[in-house]
Amino acid sequence: MSIKKINTKKEEIKEIEKQRKKIINLILDQSELIEGSLRESLMKCGKKGCRCEQEPIHPVTRLSRWENGKLINKLIRVADREGVRKLFNNYRKHKQAIYEG
Ligand SMILES: [Zn+2]
């Protein structure tokens, strides 16, 4: 039983490591992750007659990162949002574990 548990844990770490590499490669590139870099906000889509003409209603996720000493905001499509957030949270947990351990 315990051996199986250890294997599962190992698999888990392997999976997190895989995801961490993915987020670095795909989203963060070589830039630095900053505190509070994933933020939810609302925006206007710009379509005529849309309800958002009055006030922004479309949820977007803003990913902030440092690039060549400049703070860059990247908007993440709603469709990608959940995946990105999951990757980001995993990355954070992982990073925290390194510092605490
Ligand atoms: Zn709209």
Strand partners, 64: 73
In whole angstroms, what is the distance from residue 32 CA to residue 70 CA?
A: 11
Between the CA of 45 and the centroid of ligand 1 the distance, in Å, is: 4
Between the CA of 85 and the centroid of ligand 1 the distance, in Å, is: 23
- Give, as residue ranges, everything with CB less than 5 Å from ion ligand 1: 45, 50, 52
| Strands (E) located in the chain | 32-43, 58-67, 70-76
Q: For the chain, 101 residues long, give each residue's pLDDT as a single digit of tens.
A: 555 666 788 888 888 778 777 766 655 544 445 555 777 788 888 999 999 999 999 888 787 777 778 888 877 776 777 777 777 777 777 676 666 65
Between the CA of 56 and the centroid of ligand 1 the distance, in Å, is: 7
Between the CA of 94 and the centroid of ligand 1 the distance, in Å, is: 37
According to the model, what pLDDT value does residue 31 have?
44
According to the model, what pLDDT value does residue 18 have?
80
Q: Can you state the angle between helices 2-23 and 78-100, rounded to 10 degrees? A: 120
According to the model, what pLDDT value does residue 24 have?
61
What is the domain partition of the chain in residue ranges?
2-100
Between the CA of 16 and the centroid of ligand 1 the distance, in Å, is: 36
Is-above-0.75 flag for pTM?
no
